[in-house]
Structure formats: structure tokens, C-alpha cells
Structure 1
């Protein structure tokens, strides 16, 4: 179904006058989650829009949508697609998202083949950093797969589609819903038992890494029953040309018993990723436009001062910001603020692609190896 976005513009114009220039008029397919980009006319930044028909949402899908919005609102990371704003009309819900125009990982591998080792390291490090951030926020993705790994135009990797995500109180909370693609599902999901969230995401990362470095899936079957047995048994074959450190990482992750799987921090510190130069932790900036209006002189960071000046250039006064207090991500002011904040962060290098610095030498391990390689001998000698 095609939607003429001038109708979308009219909906937004009724909501708030600043939003009447949210998007250019263009066609796009409503069934596509990440459609061709449209432009925010106030900032000229490209955005993607996900449209949901509220009349088709049952109780379960409404609950999933609410979780998706809550989880994305809580996440601010260079390798996670950002949710800028939520706009609601009588019959539709519009999610205004960061636009990642470089395609998805699954299409890339299917068309060009498996990734080279350096590219696989750079890609996987970014995915791992995103998952580490999610789990630190007690958010479980539950649908990690190559189709949900997108590329931004600068080559930065973006984890997307939080439709099955959920937020837990702590990492020991158990879940009971089968989510995601069967090819990436952990054994405990196929056993129809309660499961811990983080190990499920870790298993999916192991399947994803296998796919990245081999171009094939570790568990393949022509029926769901056979796939279920293969995953529960956890038996797979790695090609001999996959480097040893990468093989050890995959085998450490794809363990059928959740308690025996690598934790995220173990994956970050594994030998295979040691050469990757990448910041594994981030310091998110609070998504609070009201701070711009209430801060005392000198309290705002350089980023915030830049955003405040840009907002004023666009005609947004501090009174506008105060009037939107409490509306959160459903406020047009918050949406504009989020876009400008993201732009400022990218301008300061917050979304640089990691680099492989070469082999990182482990002096302790090399010393032990050298010691073991010595030919030990002894001689009699006389002390004078």
C-alpha cells in the first residue's frame, strides 16, 4: 500500500505547527519497516518512518509495540538505530527513526559472499558493543539476525528492529516467549522452557558470527523438527580455514547449556577481537530538551550549546521547550532535539568505524611459549 506523505504532513500540522515541515512529499511502501528515506525539512536530515495501522493491532501486538518504543527510547548508542519521535493519529502510529541507507548484512553476504576476517572483526565488534550496551540497560533484543543488522551510509553498523525486545528488572529474570527467527534461536527456546535473556542474545551472536565468516548457517534443516533437533544437540562443523581464535570464540558461544556460554564481557576480551581498536563503553547524553531552558550559564556542554543555538535559528524558543515538558518522545520538540543531538554527536566522531590495529602481542603468553621452547640442560661447574 502506498501512502502520499502530504497526508502525513497534514496530520502532523494539526498536532503542532513546528511539525508541519517534518517530511518532504514522496511515495513509499507502508509494508517496508525501513523505507526509502524522507527528509526532515527543518534540519534536512534523512529519517526513516515506520507506519503501523492501529486498527490492526490486537492486545498482544500493542504490548510488543509498547515494549519496542520503551526499549528504543532507553537506548542511545552509535551502533543502535535511534528512535527520534513517535507521532500518533486516529488510525496510525508513526515511528520516526534514524535512517541507515547502506543495506542490511544478510543481503550484503548473500550478494557478495562471506566477510573477510578484518571486515568480520570490525562488523562483529560493533554488534557486540551494541548488545553490551543493551544488556547493561537490562534490555534483551531477542531477534538478532543478519537481516536486522544495517549499515549507515558511513559504514557504521546499526542493530535494528526491536519488535521482540523486552526490558527486565535484572539479568536473572526469566522469560518464556519464543521470539525471533528459528535459525538464530537458542536451544532453550526450542525446549519450551523459561530462559534467561542475555544468553539467548549471545547464542544469536554466535550464529551471526558463523554466518559472517563462512557465508552459511551452522544449523540447517529442511523441516522445523530437524532444525529443532540440530540446535538442541548443538553440533556444527566449522571450515578449517576459519582462524583458530575465531573458531574458539564461536565454539565458546554456541554451547547448548546457557550457563556454559561465554558472557558478553568474555567475548569482548577474546583473542580474536584483541586487535580491534574500539570504545566498548559509551556515555549517553540525557535526552532532555528542558535542560537547555533551565540550565545556568556555563552548565551546558559544548554539544548542548550547539543544539540550543541551532534550535533558536530554527525558531524554537525556550518557551516552546518548556511548553512541551512531560511529553517525552511524543513531543515534536524532543524529536527535533534528538535529531540535532545525534547530528552533533556524529560531527564529534561518535560514530567512527573501528579499525584493526594488527596483532596485539600478549607478552605473558609469548614469554611462556618462549620458555617452553627452550632446550634445558645442566652442566657441572666448580665454584672457585
Structure 2
């Protein structure tokens, strides 16, 4: 993969900034072989005397990454990568770990999955590419969002949305089964997320309580797409993926399977665990667990309502043609009156697809309603110092003519765009951030943010509590 270097000069005329994007847009199914570190080592900034005080936040960060001794020490110690400062571990896998990070420009908490390149064989690299591709193509409020991918000589860093409330498995094992009224709300969100995946022909293949994360007490997101794959409707798959207790019987007895039915079975196991605190199929070893799942014998406690039992039985039907569809789940009596969150508008995840010089001129004079969030994002980038001049020059000089997952500016754009999308969703909205944003951009307060808020409030009047205090736990299987 060719290296892409962007050259630009600040509007002061005396600050030369060279930023490096090590990937471009990789579509060949392989990871690039570049050993370049995309952080301070590839940023060159020169100044005239006393000019640093006139820098924008973006320019100042580039300067600090290159010259500040504290930043250099953090980078050497592995506490700094790209535009992110790394903090505590929040998850651990066989070949990876997950750390809490903060984007130094956007001031956004993120989860950073770090994979040791020396331990990635060809199969694991393929899975990793699928994970990145799947997440890039999903845009739903109940699915963890991908922001950026960064490679160093020794590691690959996948930067995603952070869910601070912990995972569903930890919640149930520590607090006990979930009351049905609360379980309905959570399961409706799981259903909406899986519906969105399947509409994009993406099969998760590892749906389980460990991969359902709480952002707030009443808001969950599905994550960990390490076993996901693209599959046309009714296309047979052959690779056994996922966690054995959640695996559908056809995975154990057949040579191939249909992906959507495997996901739906796993949803049934997850629901059973939610409302009972138990697993429907339990055994002391893998052989007995396999036999138990193939035999299909399980018992639902009498404390579970008839309507919920009916849904569980529909999801755990051994005959895939009779296993309930997403449409049947949505219309079942147990989920009557539940809200199934809709997907976000499919805004471009690559900033230069929208902000060419002609588009910038156009939206500056007349803001299209459908692009108001993108326009707000652009204003936020400008405030940070990532101006249209930078974007135009980068677009002109880029080898692949397209910012990608592997670009620090595009990562900043995605974080800011997603933050504003969340503000338009009553389940996710952070009123404290809305107030801060309105202070920064008072001219847009009534035109944009307020209109989204009113729209969201018309859709739902639910009272949302504060975030849970559980520590986040991320399950990685590689």
C-alpha cells in the first residue's frame, strides 16, 4: 500500500505541518506493510519566534507531539498513540488488550483495542479485517461505532466508541436476573441492532451477554465484531464461530449453516439468561454441552411470563425454518409498546466525500436540512483548527483521494459527527454536552440542536437515569 503524505502550510504563512497517514483506503484484503508510526515521528512543525501562542488546538497538538518532552515520554512509554492518550486496561484477550483512551482534540473517551502484530496469523488478520469492515458499514445507536485504526511497528490499534456501564454478563452475574419490564427494553434494542446488521447482510456470529454493553442504565450497544462476516440472504457458511453455550444446534450437527438463524438463536440464549440468570443449556464439559444443545431439552422457570416464554421458545426452535424472524420478534406480544431504535442517517464516514471546496462554499451560504449535522461537525473541526484550507490541500495531494479509517483527521471527524448524531437521539443525548455545544455555537442553537431535541422528545418521553457505575468489561476472542 502506497504511503500517503499530506503537505500544507498554515494561514500564518510560517508554520509548516506535514502529517502522515500510513494506510490510505485498503481494499485488497491485506494489512499494509508500513512500519511507520503515525504519531509524533511523522509530524514536522517549524515556527518563527513567539508564534506558538497563535496556533490553533490542532496545530498546537501537532507541535506538542513533535517537540514536547512530556508527550515524547508518554509516546515512548506506550501511553500515547496518534491523537489519543491511553489510560487503564478495560479488557483482555489472548492476543489483545483494550484500554480506555481520550482523544486529545475532541476530549472524547474511547476504547482502544490493541493487537500484538507478532501474534496475528493469516486467519486472525482476516478476522480483524472483517471486524473493521463490518463496523465501518454499521450506523445504529445500539451498535458500537468505529472511529479509527492506527498501526505501529508492533501493534494495531482499533479505536471505537466507549461504553462505560459495563457488559450485560457482568451486570447479571453481580446483580441477578433482570426484571422483565427492564429486559423488554434491553431486548428491543438488541433486536433493532441485529435487524440493522442483517439489513446490511452482516452476520455477527458472536451475540452473547458479554458482547452487550451498557452506555447508560437504559441504553445498550452490541460490540465485538471479531467473528462477523458478510453473507447474502440464505448463503451457507461453514466456519464455526462464537461461544459454545450460545451456539445453535446446526453449528454442531451440520457442515454448514445460515448466518441469520445462528444470530437469532444466540438472541434466544441471551434473553433466557437475562430473565432467569441461568443458561438454558449447561454441562460440565464440551461433549455434554454439545449433546444437550442438539437434544434441545431446556426448562423455563415458571416465574417467567407466558409471553416471554413464547418468545424464547420461538427463538430456540431447532428447525431453522420455524425459528422466529426479526419481524416476528418485533411484533410479539411480549414486546408490545416497546421502542425499536432506528438507524442513523447514513452520513459519509470520510470527510472529503462531503467537504470538497464546492461543497464547503455551498453549505456556507445555504445549509441543507439533511446535512445539518455534517455542517455542525465541520464548524467544530474549524474551531479546532482543521479548516477547509487544510482539507482541500489534503484532498488535492492525497494519493488515494480519500480519507479512511487510517487517518487522524478523519478519526476526529467521525468522533465529532457521532457525538452530534447521539445528541439527536433521546436515548443517548447528553444534556450537559448540548449546553456546552450551544455555548460554542450560539448561532446554531435554535436552527439545529434544538430542532433535533424537540424531534427526539416527540418520539419518546422515557425518563432516563444516570449511567451505571460498573467498570467496563470488553470480551475479546481472537
Alignment of 1:358-373 (within 5 A): none
Larger RCO, structure (CA 8 Å, separation 6 or more): 2
Q: Residue by residue, what CA displacement relative to the aligned partner does 1:180-224 show, whole Å, maximum 9, x if unpaired? A: 100000001011411100000000000000000000001111121
Q: Is the 8 A contact 1:276 1:355 kept in 2?
A: no
Distance 2:157 2:199 in 1: 28
Write out aligned runs for 1:181-330 (5 A). Answer: 181-290=243-352, 291-293=354-356, 294-295=358-359, 296-297=362-363, 298=366, 300=368, 301-322=371-392, 323=394, 325-330=401-406
Distance 1:12 1:306, change over 3 A: same
Distance 1:34 1:98, change over 3 A: farther
Q: Does 1:23 align with 2:99?
A: no
Is there any run of 5+ residues in structure 2 with no aligned partner, and where?
A: 1-36, 45-57, 66-81, 396-400, 430-458, 463-478
Give yes or no for the alignment of 1:164 onto 2:224. Answer: no
Report the Cα offset of residue 318 of structure 1: 2.0
Relative to 1, partners in 2 of residues 1:313 and 1:213: Cα closer, same or farther, differing over 3 Å?
same
For 2:90 and 2:163, the matched residues in 1 are separated by 16
Following superposition, the deviation at residue 30 of structure 1 comes to 7.8
Question: CA 1:16–1:243 in structure 2 vs 1: closer, same or farther (change >3 Å)?
Answer: farther
Instruction: Give the C-alpha shift of residue 282 in structure 1.
Output: 4.3
Q: Is the 8 A contact 1:209 1:250 kept in 2?
A: yes
Tell me the TM-score normalised to structure 2 length.
0.68
| Aligned-pair CA distance for 1:15 | 4.6
Helix, strand or coil at the partner of 1:311 = helix
1:364 — aligned with what? none
- How many aligned residue pairs are there? 347
Alpha-carbon distance in 1 for matches of 2:175, 2:149:
36
Q: Is the 8 A contact 1:50 1:96 kept in 2?
A: yes
Aligned partners of 2:192 and 2:87: how far apart in 1? 35
Provide, for residues 242-263 of structure 1, a one-character-per-residue CA deviation record: whole Å limited to 9, x for no partner.
Answer: 1111111010110112111011
Tell me, what secondary structure is at the counterpart of 1:51? strand
- Kept in 2: contact 1:34–1:99 (CA 8 A): no
Does 2:407 correspond to 1:331? yes
- SS of equivalent to 2:85: coil
Check conservation: 2:38, 2:150, Cα contact below 8 A.
no
> What is the SS of the residue equivalent to 2:92?
coil
Assess if the C-alpha contact under 8 Å between 1:142 and 1:165 holds in 2: yes
Deviation per residue, 1:80-116 (Å, 9 max, x gap): 1111000111221111110111000000000000000
**Preserved CA contact (<8 Å) 2:89 2:99:** yes
Does the 8 A contact of 1:22 with 1:41 survive in 2? yes
Quote the residue 2:446 is aligned against: none
Distance verdict in 2 for CA 1:31–1:277, change over 3 Å: closer
RMSD: 2.3
Paired residues for 1:60-139 under 5 Å: 60-139=123-202
Instruction: Find the aligned partners of 1:356 and 1:204 in 2 and give their Cα distance.
Output: 31
Would the alpha carbon gap of residues 270 and 283 (structure 1) be closer, same or farther in structure 2, given more than 3 Å must change?
A: farther
Moved over 6 A (4+): 353-357
| Contact 1:84/1:98 (<8 A) preserved | yes
Displacement of 1:321 in angstroms is 2.6
Q: Distance in 1 between matches of 2:306 and 2:329?
A: 15
Name the residue aligned to 1:376: none
SS of 1:47's partner is strand
Moved more, 72-81 or 295-304: 295-304
Change (3 A) 1:216 1:26: closer
The residue that corresponds to 2:422 in the other structure is 346
Alignment TM-score, normalising by the size of structure 1: 0.84
